[in-house]
Amino acid sequence: MDKLIFTSLGSQQFIDQRIQQISNEIANVSTTGFKRTFAAATQAYRLDGDGFNTRFLAGVMPSSRVDMTPGPMMSTGAPLDVALTANQLLGVQTAKGETAYTRRGDLKVGSDGILRIGTGEQVLSDANAPITVPDLTEIKIGPDGTVLTKQVAGEAVVFQPLARMRVVEADPAKVRLRVDGLYESSDGQPFADATTPEVSSGTLEGSNSNLFSTMVDMISMSRRYEMQVKVLKQASDLAERSQSLAKLAQ
């Protein structure tokens, strides 16, 4: 009987984890460059201790692997809106000085002159340093990720290269979601710089989370949870009947 209870509780744990993932996907359905994560995996573990050695507990291992399926491309015409292609990621520096990666392309120049993404992290150059834009400068992004600038009302009539953004080629199997919403490599090793960066200026990549499919998943998970509750109730009823029969047999 306890096997049935352990299995049902393990299923409920999986459902709870999946509902959290779905809720996150729904909340970020309009977030620029958002990537959903794969569903959690359920694994069985043998319980050591008192009792039979055949007792196993289904444990849920939440997955932080990122689904790198591209989101819809939206044309904005803004010079600091960029979108990456394939499995390329943009290198950024967090407030703690850590190097992380993102697919967000809503760039902006902060009050300190540093190029940042929409959530505030600093955009790194291919020299692994933050990109600082001079004051009173017109800026645009080239197709290879080069930041081009031109002084407003200056003598220069053409844009001059300032730095090139750090664009890396990521292994989809190693892209892992961080707690701050950025990405990192699962093996702790930095991703290699892309040999041919492909950056589309004036374009933003939307979320690859689909509202309709996630809502269907949410309904499905709710029904599965209700089914597991019924299984636990039936297990409790069977246990009570077994105890009653045992008492009658004495």
Confidence at residue 64, expressed as pLDDT on a 0 to 100 scale: 66
Amino acid at 121: E
Amino acid at 73: M
* Mean pLDDT across 195-210: 88
* Mean pLDDT across 50-65: 58
Confidence at residue 191, expressed as pLDDT on a 0 to 100 scale: 92
Residue 155 pLDDT level (bands cut at 50, 70, 90): low
- Range of lowest pLDDT (4-18, 174-188, 225-239): 4-18
Supply the DSSP string of 187-213, one letter for each residue. Answer: TSPPPEEPSS--EEETEEE--S--HHH
Q: CB pairs under 8 A, 24+ apart, for 49-57?
A: 54/3, 55/2, 55/3, 55/6, 56/3, 56/6, 57/6, 57/9, 57/10
| pLDDT tens digits along 78-122 | 989 999 988 999 999 998 889 999 999 899 998 889 999 988 999
* Mean pLDDT across 137-158: 83
Look at residue 106 and give its three-state secondary structure: strand
Contact 217, 22 (CB under 8 A): yes
In the chain, % of residues over pLDDT 90:
23
Q: What is the pLDDT of the chain when averaged over all its residues?
A: 80
Per the model's pLDDT, the better-predicted residue between 231 and 29 turns out to be 29
Per the model's pLDDT, the better-predicted residue between 232 and 120 turns out to be 120
CA distance 68 to 167: 15
Per the model's pLDDT, the better-predicted residue between 32 and 230 turns out to be 32
pTM of the model: 0.71
Indicate if the pLDDT at residue 43 is higher than 80.
no
| Number of neighbouring beta carbons within 10 Å of residue 198 | 14
Indicate if the pLDDT at residue 181 is higher than 60.
yes
Indicate if the pLDDT at residue 167 is higher than 90.
yes
Give strand ranges (E) for the chain: 41-46, 56-61, 73-75, 82-84, 88-93, 99-102, 108-109, 115-116, 122-123, 137-141, 146-151, 160-164, 167-169, 175-177, 183-185, 192-193, 199-201, 203-205
Beta bridge partners of 132: 114
Burial class of residue 32, CB neighbours in 10 A (0-12, 13-18, 19+): buried
* Mean pLDDT across 125-131: 91
Per the model's pLDDT, the better-predicted residue between 132 and 37 turns out to be 132
Q: How wide is the angle at C-alpha 59 spanned by C-alphas 57 and 62, nearest 5°?
A: 175
CA distance 75 to 11: 43
